[in-house]
């Protein structure tokens, strides 16, 4: 990255690194994942603790944009053909979704 003249995508690389690490990697201490550590720190009584533990593995890759309705953006994973409905609140860059079958590189987590 230091050799690259323009670092316009640097924040995307950092985001991908920390979201992937927090979702899949396990620490040496107790071999817990990021979501398990977050749930443990919050404690069992916290309203988000159970939701964190139920969070799925991150699925990243190429998806086809298939359209949207009032609540969701509809995408299809190219590798498997599996369809997903993603809430609009979870995607910041809605303005880039203009043409059906445009290819997106994104990561999703339930």
Tens digits of residue pLDDT in 72-91 = 999 999 999 999 999 988 87
pTM of the prediction? 0.67
pLDDT range class, residue 22, cuts 50, 70, 90: low
The residue among 59 and 16 whose pLDDT is bigger is: 59
Q: Where is the domain boundary, 53, 73, 88?
A: 53
Counted domains in the chain: 2
Q: Are residues 36 and 65 in the same domain?
A: no
d(CA 73, CA 61): 16
Band of residue 42 on the pLDDT scale cut at 50, 70, 90: very high
Does residue 63 sit in the same domain as residue 91?
Answer: yes
In this structure, the answer to whether residues 49 and 34 fall within a common structural domain is yes
Domain with 71 in it: 59-108
Q: How far is CA 108 from CA 1, 58, 80, 83, 90, in A?
A: 25, 6, 14, 12, 9
Residues 84/56, Cβ–Cβ less than 8 Å: no
């Amino acid at each position: 990255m230091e050799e690259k003249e323009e670092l316009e995508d640097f924040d995307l690389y950092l985001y991908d690194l920390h979201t992937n690490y927090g979702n899949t990697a396990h620490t040496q201490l107790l071999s817990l994942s990021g979501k398990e550590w977050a749930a443990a720190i919050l404690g069992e009584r916290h309203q988000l603790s159970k939701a964190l533990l139920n969070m799925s593995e991150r699925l990243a890759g190429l998806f086809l944009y298939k359209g949207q309705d009032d609540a969701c953006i509809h995408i299809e994973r190219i590798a498997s053909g599996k369809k997903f409905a993603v809430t609009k609140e979870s995607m910041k860059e809605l303005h880039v979704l203009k043409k059906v079958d445009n290819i997106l590189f994104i990561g999703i987590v339930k």
